[in-house]
Structure formats: C-alpha cells, structure tokens
Chain A
Amino acid sequence: MSLRRAWPRLAAAALLLVACSGQAAGPTPALSGAGPESALSGVLEAIEANRPDLAMQRVEALLAAHPNFRLAHLIRGDLLMARARPLETFGNVPKTVPREKVEDLRAEALLRLRALRERPNGDRVPRYVLQLHAGQTHALVVDSRRSRLYVFENVGGRPQFVADYYVSLGKNGVEKTREGDQKTPIGVYHVTANLPRQKLIDFYGAGAFPINYPNAWDRRLGRDGHGIWLHGTPSDTYSRPPRASDGCIVLANADLEAVGRSLQIGLTPVIIADEIDWTDGAALEAERTALAGAFQAWRADWESRDTGKYLAHYAARFNSGDQNLADWSAHKRKVNGAKSWIKVGVTRISMLQYPRESFVVVSFDQDYRSSNLSNVMRKRQYWIKDDGRWRILYEGGA
C-alpha cells in the first residue's frame, strides 16, 4: 500500500547499473552540454540520490523533448512499477517479453552511462591520430566496444577532443570481411559523400556519409562488401541498440547533424577501432617525430638519386598495385638513372595509425619535378616498423 515500499530496490537496481558501468575512480568529469544523454544521467543521479519524484520529473521532461527515446520510457516504466511493487531488475518488464528486446536497452543504458562517466580528459589522445594536415578540420574515432564516436578538432596538426556520441554498429560486431556479414569494418577510412535527408528513405534519418570501405588494405586482404555509411535514425525511435546495423555507424539524428557539420568530403578521417588505444600527448609526439624523420629521409634520398639508399626505405613485403619490391626496384633503377636532377615537395601530410595493424597511413600532396618529368598528385603510403626501422609497405595514389 505504500508508494515508497518498492523504491529502495529500484535505487539498488540503478546502482547496480552504475556499478556495472565501471565507474572510474575519482570525481566524475563535468558533463558537456544539456543533451538527452546528460538528461538521462540526471535521471539516474536522482535515483541514486533516492529522490524518486525528482527522477520521475526529469524522465518526463526528457520524454517531452524526446518522445521516441525508448531507454527513457524503460526507466519511466521502472519508476512507475516501483510504486506498484518491488522491482526485481533494471527494466522490470513482464517475463513474457522477449529477453533480447530488454537486453538491447539495458546494453544501451550501460554503454551510455559508462561513456558519460569515462569521458576523455584533456591530456588523453587516441594513438591513431599522429598528425592531421592543415586542410583537415576534424577526425572521427570510433570505439566499437564502447559504442562511441569521438570527434577531435585539428589544433596545429594535433587532435583535441571536442565531443562524443553514442553509436550503433553492426549486428555481428566488427572486422568486416565479407559482403552481408553485418559487421562494421575496422580501419582507417574517410567520408566520400554527403547524402542529404531528401535523397534518402526515412530509415537513414537526418542524412548519410558513406566511407571508403573497402580501402586499399581491405582489397589487398581480399575483403569485399560495400555501402558502409555513417547515418541517422528512423523517425520512430531516438536511438537504436548498440548492435543493430548491417555494418553502418548509426547516430541519433541530432548527433548526425552535429557531426556532419565537422565533416569534409574526401578529407575527414574516420578511424574505427575495437577499443580506442589512448595515450598522452608526449608519447604521441615522440612517435610522430620518429616517423616524420623517416619520411623526410625517404624524400631526401629520392632527391639524391642514390637509388640504393632510396630503395632501403621499402619493406621486403612492399607492394604497389601489382608490383612487388623486385618489380618496383627494377623500375626505379631504370627511371632514376636517366635523370640529371629530382625535386620532391611534400605538403599536407597526415599520419594515421591503422587499428589492429602495425602500420601508419601517411597521406600527402607530392610535387615531383625532374629533368625529364614533373607531376603533382595526392599519395598514400603505409609505413611499418620493420626491424626497428620505419619502412614503406605500400605506396600508391590516394
């Protein structure tokens, strides 16, 4: 007969959820902005503080603004059910409901909460973004395990954390290899187009940004499939479960619009990792300096026309299209021997560590001039640490 009787159990269920989310030691970082996710966190804080009426007020305000936020409906259901009878669990839906439906929402709750409580602080950067070039305003890095997309701004070539968003990924997880495997690829990609809402069906929500899967590395490994996009959410729901897409990266519509404003077609890197490998600025700088030195040595040795020194920058497993190291060496010896001078300018250099692999993708504009031939092109190389020395694994047009 008491409205309060069942309450302590809900608080306990919520606390359990918080505990599962692996709250980091120390103070919780301040939340940025007043989005629905921080509103959700406010609801759970009220539950933790044993203030059910405040929690109800907050969840109802959240639902007034986002009537399709299913997770918020679940929590409102719990808040109401706690008034009727003791709760057994978070998301105390009737036993007749298929388990996976509830598990999806529980998983979303855990991931959102965990992300809010483990936000990157100013000093931590992902290992992948060694250098952005001046024309790139932002880089996106996806942490698959956390269902989270992090946006970094280019400040003097170094990544600076701006914002992060909940994302849904492939039903079958990550490391796409085959068409139809419903997995999200792991790798370094970039957005290739901007498809506005008007050109799409409702399923894609506020818009879509395809990425260049399969990239050169994927093709080299024989991976296939296509149509991996960043896109929005259908109008009947605010968000989708953590593992729901056919491989695409799905954001809430408002989030897609916010991210979309930072994207430059053909330029903005999209790095998809299993779990982001975070490092500090100093360690990243040391790595970048070492690689930049090797890269400049390669350029200088090319200009010197000492083909032996130049070819020493290439790894034994090197390839370029259908050329292996032997083909490449034979070709370069023939071409370079016929020249009286070579000048190689490199600008707009970006360096991105490839997740799961030991190489770094280096992209640059190459201004090549020589006694008998000149050309300007965008080039891509994969640099790998080989016997403790940086060498080129792949080279080709970008």
Chain B
Amino acid sequence: MTTFHDPRKALAAVFAVLLAASAAALADDVQDASKLLKSGQHQQALERVNRVLAAKPKDAQARFLKGLIFAEQGNAKDATDIFLLLTRDYPNLPEPYNNLAVIYASQGQYDKARASLEQSIRTHPSYATAYENLGDVYAKLASQAYDKALQIDSANPVAKNKLALVRELVGGAAPAKPAAATVAAAPSPKEPATAPALVAAAEAKPAPEKSAPERPAGATTGNAEVLDAVGAWAKAWSSKNVDAYLAFYARDFKTPGGETRPDWEKARRQRIGAPKSIAVTIEAPKVSVDADGQASVTFRQGYRSDVIKSSTTLKTLIMARSDGRWLIRQERVGN
C-alpha cells in the first residue's frame, strides 16, 4: 500500500452517465427517500425508491438506497442481492462493496467481508470508511484465528460487529460539488431501530438540502476563528501531539463508529502514534454557521505519512463554541 493511483477519471465518467440518466424529479424522490430513511421511516422510503425504480430500473442511486433500506430493516438477503448486482453493474464504485462487506461481517462471514472491502479499496485507494471497516474485519479474523489457537469460543462475535454502512452513493472520489455555504446536516434523530449494530459513519450530503433554509446571515464574524481552530487542529495532528489533537473534540463529540469516547481516543492514539511523521493539510475550506451558532467546515484534507504516502479526503467538521474555543462535535468523511 505504498502507492496509490487515482481512479477519479473513470469514476467521473461513470457519474456523468449516472447523472445524465437521472431525471430531476426522480432525483427529488431519491432525496426524499434518503431523508425518510434517516428519520427511520423505512416503509415510506421504500415506496419512494420503488417509484423511482419503476421508471428507471437501472438507477444506481435508487438501487443503492433500496439496498440500504433493506440493510437497515435487517433484510440481509435482499440487501446483499442489490449491492452484489451494483458491484457487477458498476465495478468502479466503492460504496456497494463496502456495504456488502458490512452485511457479510454482520453475518460473521469475515473472509467474504475482507475480500469485498479489499475490492472497495482497490476501487478507491483512499476510501477512509472502507479502511476503517477493513481494520475491524482484520481484527475479527484475527480474533477467530486466536480462538482456534486457544480452543476457546469468543462470546457472540457477531453482536460486537460495528462496521460502518455507507449512506450515500457518491463514488468516494467523485469531484465534490457542494454549494459554497452548505448547511450542516442535523444528526440523525433516531438510531435505526431494526439494525442497531449498523452505525452510519458518513452522512455528509453531496447537495444542499432543500428543506433547510440557508442562514449565512450574521454568521460571518466567527469564520476566521473557526478556520484558526481547524488550522490548529491540523497542526496538532501533524506534530503528533495527540493530547492537543484530542482537546479539539467536544465532550459531546459523536464518535464515527458509535464507539465509546475512551475506545475512540485509544484508537486515535494508536493511529496517530504509529507513523514516524504525519503531515495534514487543509485546502479550500468553506465555513458556514447556522442560526444556533454551530459551524460546518468543509475542506479537502491532505494526509501524508511515512506509511501512507498521500491521500486526500473531503472532510466536514461540525463545530461549536465552548468556553471561547471552537470544538469538534462531528467529523465526517466523504462528500
């Protein structure tokens, strides 16, 4: 994994076709279905998606969403079928591989999960969610190997699965086209009731939500402070000053995998501690502040270390002021 090649051109081509094929009205239906799913209204979401698919049976966005609905409903078989067909029809998209892997892992099929995640990463070498998931799958496979070594049964390994489903089909490295002042997405109001083990990691929106009015007014004054905080955060990370880095995360920070704060901090310490050198850069940051004073910063994050030569991710930090400092409440990868 010392070199990465960039598959963006191929993906961009795929997306040009996809986007052209999607009629605007149907796109609205997909958006609506996505929102319904987030609010836990699986059945209504499914109806919208089926409406889209009746008109456009090959629509990748709608098929992906349908797979996601099935996955969250606990219907692993139908979800698997959909994601599997998506990987065949669009072998260059990383998300279906990732979600397929999440389902395999939830069934304890870690070898299949591993193969699928490795495929996802081959498709898109800097795909953060797939890497995180693959790390967990390797840990599970290791745990199974240890069980065989020690002739013990580990307690209910499937229940401990906490791999992240990707919620949006965006092609990972597809050119980002967010509006300049994107309104921060509200955190999901409910955890999916039927599949508590599946935790959403990447909920960032590729397009502004129509239902949420933009409110940039009166919020510009804080922008410089927010950018300073983001810069200082990147600096602490780059200098491997883990304590300073962790101090940028608010007490109510929503951990990406839903893990406990101590677990998350421990993992971060390990990941930041392992390479000899790290360089994190912030490019083209865009700040928006909502009426409640919460800031959303979206930027291209460059990451280099002696282990990963380079990777670029689109990142969004949701930040809030606390005791005079801007602290991170959510951190999202992907666009």
Q: State the CA gap A91–B142 with chains docked (Å).
A: 10
Task: Tell me, rounded to whole Å, the shortest Cβ–Cβ distance linking A73 to chain B.
Answer: 4
Given contacts A1-B132, A1-B308, A2-B307, are A80 and B141 in contact (CB under 8 A)?
A: yes
Task: Tell me, rounded to whole Å, the shortest Cβ–Cβ distance linking A183 to chain B.
Answer: 25
Task: Tell me, rounded to whole Å, the shortest Cβ–Cβ distance linking B322 to chain A.
Answer: 29
A77 CB–B CB distance under 8 Å:
yes
B136 to A86, Cβ gap below 8 A?
Answer: no
Given contacts A1-B308, A5-B307, A102-B150, are A80 and B1 in contact (CB under 8 A)?
A: no
B152 CB–A CB distance under 8 Å:
yes
Count A interface residues, CB 8 Å: 30
Given contacts A3-B1, A86-B270, are A93 and B128 in contact (CB under 8 A)?
A: no
Main secondary structure of the interface of B (DSSP, over half): helix
B-contact 0/1 string along A51-88, CB 8 Å cutoff = 00000000000000000001101101111110111100
Closest A residue to B136 by beta carbon equals: A84
B-contact 0/1 string along A153-184, CB 8 Å cutoff = 00000000000000000000000000000000
Task: Tell me, rounded to whole Å, the shortest Cβ–Cβ distance linking A357 to chain B.
Answer: 40
B274 to A71, Cβ gap below 8 A?
Answer: no
Give the residues in chain A near B148, CB-CB below 8 Å: 70, 73
Given contacts A5-B275, A93-B150, are A76 and B143 in contact (CB under 8 A)?
A: no
A94 CB–B CB distance under 8 Å:
yes
Given contacts A5-B275, A84-B139, A237-B151, are A94 and B146 in contact (CB under 8 A)?
A: yes
Q: State the CA gap A85–B1 with chains docked (Å).
A: 15
Q: State the CA gap A6–B167 with chains docked (Å).
A: 29
Closest A residue to B144 by beta carbon equals: A77
Given contacts A1-B128, A5-B271, A5-B274, are A84 and B138 in contact (CB under 8 A)?
A: yes
A248 CB–B CB distance under 8 Å:
no
Give the residues in chain A near B273, CB-CB below 8 Å: 86
Give the residues in chain B near A85, CB-CB below 8 Å: 135, 139, 267, 270
Give the residues in chain A near B308, CB-CB below 8 Å: 1-2
Given contacts A2-B308, A86-B274, A94-B143, are A77 and B135 in contact (CB under 8 A)?
A: no
Task: Tell me, rounded to whole Å, the shortest Cβ–Cβ distance linking B308 to chain A.
Answer: 5
- Can you show 13 pairs from A to B with CB atoms below 8 A apart? A1-B311, A5-B271, A76-B145, A77-B144, A80-B141, A81-B142, A84-B142, A93-B146, A93-B150, A101-B152, A102-B150, A105-B149, A105-B150
Name B residues whose Cβ lies closer than 8 Å to a Cβ of A: 1-2, 128, 131-132, 134-136, 138-139, 141-146, 148-152, 267, 270-271, 273-275, 305, 307-308, 311
Q: Which 3 A-B pairs have the closest CB atoms?
A: A77-B145, A74-B149, A81-B142
